[in-house]
Each structure stands twice: as structure tokens, then as C-alpha cells.
Structure 1
């Protein structure tokens, strides 16, 4: 596969993790980051690339020139615009734009990137409606339909990437009647450090580091969009918890037949062997910090699996909501490139 020219729009938690993961996985010759658009100043961008409170010091040399971020001596052109069409993307000759700002969820907004010269946009969040993008993809679930004709694709969310493979395995093996999901999600930057006039949702005006805070979630919609056979059978809620990174999903499902803890754990041990890049399994006594910088979409904690005679199953799923999702952005970029490059030859 020839080198894919990548640009990143939005250089926050996910944007920086994407860049870092490309270099940690030594993919910089395959995925060439040629440009970053980020409103913040270049000095701060370089500093936060090199020093990260969650993932540690960047394992390479970081510098800057007048208008570029330098990674191991390679110059990445930097822009500081706030509008999708303010950058001349066409002049950069990119193949895929990774939209990592989280600011755009409407097709009318995302199409401005296309109109400004981006041939393809991979969005780092789900959209309210499936019609806002050409396709929503989760690696290992529906990636076979990703093709060169699509121009705006959503990589769904970190929670969707974590739970969809788990539900798909359960549904294929037993049939899922109902599912209830509770996400315990690490704090995000839409929450204040101390109480303040920060959000229309009054819960989000409260200090992120002093309380567990219930928040709204569209996870149930995302699950039903990707697993339509579960339409009307999924409910979800989310609680932000005061840790910097790594989240979990407490999953309660009603299966169509009874099973045992041993059978369920065996199912996911085998699933992790079939999908080693996205699924993992452990039954060791874990705390969340154990999964910081873990690139899997989901890690099944077999020590927490519970069942009863009525087909009720309770599973606990860990995931690094930053690093795991950033790695899926990279994987989908590679897969998408292989499809459109093969179609152009």
C-alpha cells in the first residue's frame, strides 16, 4: 500500500493520541501526517505533544519551526483556523482528514471539509442520525462495507467500539433479548474542575473531580444502528467518574437461554483469540489504571462475570477511552485506504 497522506483537524486528546499512536506503532511511513489544524498556539501544541499527563513523555523528538510541528525531524504543517473551509485542504493533497475536534456532527458542516478539498473525512464521534454520514463503522463488525465511494465516515464512539463486539458475540452465541448498559466514563473536558456556569445540563456545572456525575448518552442509539436486530431492546446511561482516563461498561443482558459464568468467559477467551487487536480478556484482580494506554477496544474482566438460571448475565468491560479509540481511527484509516487505493488501480 502506498503512503496515505493524513491531516488532523482538532489536536486535543484524540488528535494527539492519533499522532502519537502512529509513531509508537511505527506507521509514519504508511500514514504520513502532513498537516494539523488546531486553534491553539504552536508552542503549546508542541509542549502537549511531548509531555502528556496520561500517556507519558512522547517516545521521540518533538520540536517546532515557524509554522510546523517537528516530529523526529519531520515537519507537519500547522494551521490555526476555526472554520472547516478556512484551510486549503486541496493544496495539501491529502487522502483522509481525521476530524478529531468533536465540533461537527451535521452533514452540512462536515461537507464543508469536502468542498474545501478533502476527498474523505473520518469523524471521531457518532452523529445523531445515520444520514449525517455515508457510513458508521466499527472494526470487526461492519468494516467489510467500507469502500472508496464513501466520503464522510464516522468511527462511532469509544463506548460503541467497546460494547458492540461484546453484544455481537453474545447475540450470535445465545441471542440477546434485552441489554442495559451503564458506562462509567472518565472525566472529559466539557466538565469544569470546580463548580461553574459551564453547561446547560445542570449536572455538568458540578466539579468533575469531586463527584460522580450522571450525563446523557446516545449509546443505545449507536448500538441499535450497528446491531439493528436489537432495535428497541437496548437502554443505556452514563456516569462520569473522577479519574483522568480508562472507562468501563457494566453490561446486564437477558439471553434467550441460560448459561454459566464458565461458558460466558470461555466465549470471550475464544473471541479475544479471533480478534486479538480489538478484544482482550483477563480474570486477574484489576483496577482501571491497569488499562491505561491499552490499545484494545474492549477488555472483558472475567472475574466480574455473573449469571443466573434465567439467562441473566452481568459483564464488566474495561476500555481506554482515549488510546483504544485513537488506535481504531488508525486501523480504519489503513483499511479505508486499502479499499480506495485498490479501486483506483
Structure 2
């Protein structure tokens, strides 16, 4: 192919992608249908994003898809009476082409594949969500909820509760949402309503409520009812403490963004979210590390059987540590986070058994805090019942990442050039570094990257949806 042909092909792809943008938005805004491309959302994607995601097809299917093949199916989707769901247009197009249907039967193919979604069900009234706290996780949850907001999304961020501040507090919080040293600029509009202590974010009116404890808040004063309160402060982690939120008028459920204590269910979405019952009023979304390793450990245990193992996490520093040496109640935690590797403990390995009881008493764990602001790595040294070679093991993990019920929780990379900053913004709780895998007889070592802020926040949103009774099918089905 000559120089001119390459340029023409690129321009044609740009034209098609530009034409698809309003169709993708139409499906999401008017029908609640979120289009994905091999697990990556197309909602709010730009022209170049769509082209790049299309190029992922070879990684997932060993064959190349083109936008010329994808475009007709998206056009037909816009004509169907779809109810809210996820549709992976990359997988769907690949499945259609593999089925050897002639082009004039694509409508018949879609009707069969999406038959359960063709009810044309009306969009439901969004359910209220309150964020209690506005730190690292709180602000990322805000970004995610605003990104998803619209007539088709069943959750609506109504309020954020923070402690009382001085003059200029609201402006400072708006700027923390607008600019982030790790995750970059917020993609949208933020208008400050100082008189009413509110932010209008991409058209979403978010009330800021100043309070020093849950008892000070009456949510019905703000027309908030039956709300899910997402406590991202970490101050309370047991039923008694978190139950304070349920004593407030206008609330119905509480989700904790930290490991829960006592009888609170610790949920790793994708692994044990089915344990959430309608009667559960308080749930924990576990920790970022537990979310990163548990889906992969489940996949390993299902096929190879785990007899024992050790999890070492190389974890970015958090705001619990000191910038320079100062007093800290935890061992070694008082030493400067920006200058030291800090050996410390982690409860993540033990917490795995709360989501996967079959691994109880089989795992140990430790952590090394390192001077990076985000993205961590878990090194899983596992002893297996069944022996595995590296190539076979990586092929299995690749299939788990690309085409299994755990696909939304596991990503996979084979690149020998990937480093931690490449994973900033990853929406997966864990990403397997296949190039680093070690396997010998009945032992293996897996290297698992994770964005301990954003990837975890995506898991929290999944838990929020499930707690509030939101059930979206994915087409084609995974696995």
C-alpha cells in the first residue's frame, strides 16, 4: 500500500468515526444502551479513540475488524426497540462475521442475538446517590457518575457531604474536581452556585452539605429520598458506625469504600456480588488490592487449584502516610512517603477469603509502599494442584480477560514495554502482565498491575448499581 492509500484509509476511518459519534450518543442518551468496544466504553469517546479501540480487535480475536464492518451494525441498532443494556459492538461484529451470514441478514442476526433486549422497556427514574466524603475516591466516583449521567443511567448523584470549611471552601473543592495531578483535567463543565452551596456539573445539580457527623444531616430537606450513601471517608468500618447513615432521613443503603469489619459483607464485584441480597443495607466494596487480585485468583483456582500462596503488593503511597518524617501510629508509616520504600502490612490476602471462602487460610500477604502517587502491583506467588507451563497459563489468563464472565474485572497485556504510568486510568481492577509470568511445575508467579484509585472506583460503581437493583445484560454474553 502506498503513502496516498494509507492517508486515504485513515481519512475514511475518521469520517466513519465522526458519523458514529451521534449514533453512539443517541443509543446511550435515549435508550440507555452503552456501546463497548472489546470491553472499553465508546460513550464520550472521541474520533481518534474509536479508531484506536477498533485496532484492538486483533488483540482480542486474532483478526482485524474495520469501521466499515462495524458501522452498518450500529446503524441498525439505532432502529431497534432496545431496552437498557451493554452491547460490545466489537465482539458483536466479530461474532456476526464469524457466523458467515450474508450481509442482507444482519438484521436477522441482531434480532436473534439481542432478542432479550428488544422489549423497548421505558427508562426508569434514577435513584438517588450521596457521597459521604470527597477525597481521592470520592472525587473519582463523582467523575464516573457524571460521565455516566443521562436519561439512560439509573443512578443520580444528588449530594456530597463534607466537613464545614472556611470561605472559599466550595471553590476549592470544585477546583480539586476540575484538576487532578494524577488523572488530569475533568472532562466537562463545572459551575459554582455559591449561594446554594452546590455545583452544577455537566448539567447535574450536586448539593454540598456541610456536616461533622451523619446525625447532622436530613437528606429529605434536599428532596433526597431512599438514597444510597457511599461512605468514602474510612472513618467507620463496622455496622454500628456505618449504621449512623441509616438513621438519617432520606437514606436506604450504605456502601463502604474500604474493607468492612464484623459481619459486613465484603464484595468484589464479578466474584461474589451475587451474595448481595435485597435486605442488605450495609455492604463493603473491600479494598483496591483485594479487588485487583481476587478475580485472577478465582480464575487460577478454578482451573489449576491453589494450595497455598503469598501476595506481595508494591503499593503507591496514600495520604495516610507522611510527606516528610513525622509521627505515625503505624510501624514505619511515619517515614517520608516520597523518599522511602516502606515495608508494611496488608490485609488484602486474608480478605480474599471473604469473597472466595475456598482460599481461606491459604494465602499470606505483605506490602511495600513506594514513592509513586498511583498504580500499584501485586506479585502473586502461587503453589498449584495442577502443573502449568508459561505459554499455556498465559493463554488461559488471556482467555479469562478477553472472553469470560470475569472479563470486566481482568485485563491482560503482553507488552514488554509497559510501566506503571501506562496503567493510570485503567478501568479494570487488575491487569495481568503476561510477559512477566513465571511458571515451573506446580509453581507460578503472576504480576498484576492495578490503578489503585480509578480501577477500584470503577468496581465501586458496579457495586453501587447492584445494591440499588440495577441489572444490565451484556451482549454478546461473555464466556
The alignment covers a number of residue pairs equal to 335
- 2:242, 2:282 within 8 Å by CA — same for their partners in 1? yes
**Aligned counterparts, 1:9-48, within 5 A:** 9-26=132-149, 29-39=153-163, 41-48=169-176
Runs of 4+ in structure 1 off by over 4 angstroms are 26-29
Residue 234 of structure 2 corresponds to 102
Identify the match of residue 152 of structure 1 among 282, 289, 296: 282
Cα drift, residue 90 of structure 1 = 4.3
- 1:148, 1:339 within 8 Å by CA — same for their partners in 2? no
Secondary structure at 2:468 match in 1? helix
Residue 459 of structure 2 corresponds to 328
Report the Cα distance in structure 2 between the residues aligned to 1:53 and 1:19, rounded to whole angstroms: 16
Identify the match of residue 4 of structure 1 among 122, 127, 130: 127
- 1:146, 1:339 within 8 Å by CA — same for their partners in 2? no
Tell me which structure has the larger Cα radius of gyration: 2
Q: Which runs of 5+ in 2 are unaligned?
A: 1-123, 472-479
Residue 343 of structure 1 corresponds to none
Q: Which runs of 5+ in 1 are unaligned?
A: 341-345
**Aligned counterparts, 1:314-325, within 5 A:** 314-325=445-456
- Say yes or no: does 1:181 pair with 2:337: no
- TM-score in terms of structure 2 length: 0.68
Report the Cα distance in structure 1 between the residues aligned to 2:202 and 2:302, rounded to whole angstroms: 46
**Aligned counterparts, 1:1-345, within 5 A:** 1-26=124-149, 29-39=153-163, 41-66=169-194, 67-91=197-221, 92-117=224-249, 118-129=251-262, 131=263, 133=264, 135-197=265-327, 199-273=328-402, 274=404, 275-285=406-416, 286-309=418-441, 311-338=442-469
Deviations 1:54-81 (A, max 9, x none): 1111100112112112212432110121
Cα drift, residue 184 of structure 1 = 0.8
CA RMSD between the two structures: 1.6
Secondary structure at 2:310 match in 1? strand
Deviations 1:293-322 (A, max 9, x none): 01001100000100112x010000001011
- 1:7, 1:94 within 8 Å by CA — same for their partners in 2? no
- TM-score in terms of structure 1 length: 0.93
Deviations 1:23-55 (A, max 9, x none): 234468432111000125212110100011111
Report the Cα distance in structure 2 between the residues aligned to 1:173 and 1:25, rounded to whole angstroms: 35
- 1:6, 1:98 within 8 Å by CA — same for their partners in 2? yes
Secondary structure at 2:216 match in 1? coil
Deviations 1:190-237 (A, max 9, x none): 11111112x112411111010111122111221122211122111000
Report the Cα distance in structure 2 between the residues aligned to 1:234 and 1:90, rounded to whole angstroms: 46
Cα drift, residue 334 of structure 1 = 1.5
Report the Cα distance in structure 1 between the residues aligned to 2:365 and 2:220, rounded to whole angstroms: 41
- 1:250, 1:314 within 8 Å by CA — same for their partners in 2? yes
Cα drift, residue 335 of structure 1 = 1.9
Task: Pick the structure with more helix per residue.
Answer: 2
